[in-house]
Structure 1
């Protein structure tokens, strides 16, 4: 409206100036044409302004509609948000109610079950106590008995230890005494000889000592009869007529005579008396004889090896001389291994 008002004022002013100056023909025509142009332009501008106004009105209306729809949408979102919050609150409330109800139910059930379990446990405890009391009493008695047994065992262990120590001492003492007894027996029998193979009653009515002296002088080719302290048959009786004759045991009175006899016995291979083959041995204790017999196999092997000499020393030590070296053996197994080694070397 303000724009139209200003334009009309501009258009009116020429008319006022024309009347005041005084119209002429030339100036009148020019003014008319310019007024028409101005009016045309004014109309065209008005038209443009109207079109612009209508366009702007339409745009404003459309924007208002859009703004209205947007506001409606915003209102819907707010309502939706509030609805969600309400639903959420309702769900949470319902869940809380369900949980509270479930919790109450569970607490009640658990309380009942706990009470039942407590009742059962109390009954079981009383039952167990009634059963365990005699067991506990028995265990206490057994613990007491075990303690007593431990004390007794400790005392027995100490006593056993002392007894073992004493037994060892006595065993060592017995071994020494046994060795001494064997040595004494060997010394007592040191001048005794055992003659094997002499028939029973061969001596007839003669004194057995005289008969044995004649036998030794004849068999060993002695210059004179040896002086014998005593002579007798081995103890025991013959159980059968065809049983072997008992050994004849004699005691030579002098050591030098016994040594001469032993040297001649070593040189002699076969000893004969009135057609019977006899053997003469030193009279050793039984224990010594058993140990010496263990070297029999070794002595048999060594006998056939050249440049070797051997002898069985008292009580039971094998002495071997081979290639100017001497060896002593108290263990028959070691001696046998030594003899086999030498025998294998000589065979190679």
Structure 2
């Protein structure tokens, strides 16, 4: 900048004419020269200002560039170090993730093998359970059949006053002979009251009696059906077969249907062992194991 300023020369006074006492034309010429010098100085000042501005601008540009480069270099170094740290962290995390992934793959493979074995075991167990269910069902049916056959010679008496000695075989045999007006004594092997708790209303518990002869059981049940209500000491005695509880519940499901059919002409019905309702109507026999189906048939075809 100093070198640029040295080429300019400064004057304080305008140049005057060397002659004295000149004419008006000389004065005019001097004035013109002064104006020209003023213009030249003004132009020089403008050029100086321009040169100064350009120099300052160039110096400021260089300074800004230098500062910007240093700042950017520092920032770049910081970013670079941060990127390196992030890269290292990512590398370490990637290594950990790979090890975890390998462990997961191993675990999944072990689980697949275990599940495959479990699936085979479950299939085998299902087959075994299915066979066991079939066996249990068959055994239940056999047990129920055996229980029913063991109770074939049993009868159940209801509404017999619960007093001392009323449930002995001798007392039961005498009671049956009296209420059914039989000519012979009935041989009873054993008899007892049911094991349920005494009722709060004082109603006597049922008596279960095992007859020695099956023919006597059949005869007693036939007479009880045909004789109508059986009276003994002011009580209505009821005599029923002694069925297993499950069969008794299944047979009682047909009570409503039997009530509807009772008294209808041309209709014959009866319960077959273990729990089948047979209806004979207009020469056709129908057997039902479901009380709902039997009720629908009776309502649609008989009633």
What is the TM-score with the length of structure 1 in the denominator?
0.59
Tell me the equivalent position of 2:134: 172
Aligned 8 A contact 2:167 2:192 in 1: no
Aligned 8 A contact 1:198 1:247 in 2: yes
1:134 aligns with 2:93: no
Q: Distance in 1 between matches of 2:287 and 2:167?
A: 43
Tell me the equivalent position of 1:200: 162
Once the two structures are superposed, residues 254-289 of structure 1 have per-residue CA deviations (whole angstroms, 9 ceiling, x without a partner) of 222222222212223312211111211111111111
Which 5+ residue runs of structure 2 have no aligned equivalent?
A: 1-79
Tell me the equivalent position of 1:233: 193
Shift of 1:340: 2.1
Tell me the equivalent position of 2:231: 272
Q: 1:160 to 1:250 in 2, by over 3 A?
A: same
Shift of 1:189: 0.6
1:222 aligns with 2:182: yes
Aligned 8 A contact 2:167 2:207 in 1: no
C-alpha RMSD of the superposition: 2.4
Aligned 8 A contact 2:288 2:294 in 1: yes
Q: 2:116 aligns with which of 154, 160, 172?
A: 154
Report how many aligned residue pairs link the two structures: 225
Aligned 8 A contact 2:193 2:206 in 1: yes
Q: Distance in 1 between matches of 2:196 and 2:151?
A: 19
For residue 311 of structure 1, give the secondary structure of its aligned residue in structure 2: strand
Once the two structures are superposed, residues 106-125 of structure 1 have per-residue CA deviations (whole angstroms, 9 ceiling, x without a partner) of xxxxxxxxxxxxx7998765
Once the two structures are superposed, residues 173-199 of structure 1 have per-residue CA deviations (whole angstroms, 9 ceiling, x without a partner) of 111111111110111011100101112
What is the TM-score with the length of structure 2 in the denominator?
0.68
Tell me the equivalent position of 1:8: none
Q: Distance in 2 between matches of 1:205 and 1:198?
A: 11
Which 5+ residue runs of structure 1 have no aligned equivalent?
A: 1-118
Shift of 1:302: 2.1
Q: 1:158 to 1:243 in 2, by over 3 A?
A: farther
* Structure holding more helix per residue: 1
Q: Distance in 2 between matches of 1:273 and 1:152?
A: 74
- In the TM superposition, 1:70-219 aligns within 5 A as 126-201=88-163, 204-205=164-165, 208-219=168-179
Aligned 8 A contact 2:247 2:275 in 1: yes
Q: 1:280 to 1:256 in 2, by over 3 A?
A: same
Shift of 1:309: 0.9
Q: 1:131 to 1:189 in 2, by over 3 A?
A: same
1:298 aligns with 2:257: yes
For residue 246 of structure 1, give the secondary structure of its aligned residue in structure 2: coil
Aligned 8 A contact 1:317 1:328 in 2: yes
Q: Distance in 2 between matches of 1:139 and 1:199?
A: 83
The structure with more radius of gyration? 1
Aligned 8 A contact 2:156 2:239 in 1: yes
Aligned 8 A contact 1:301 1:340 in 2: no
Q: 1:342 to 1:219 in 2, by over 3 A?
A: farther
For residue 291 of structure 1, give the secondary structure of its aligned residue in structure 2: helix
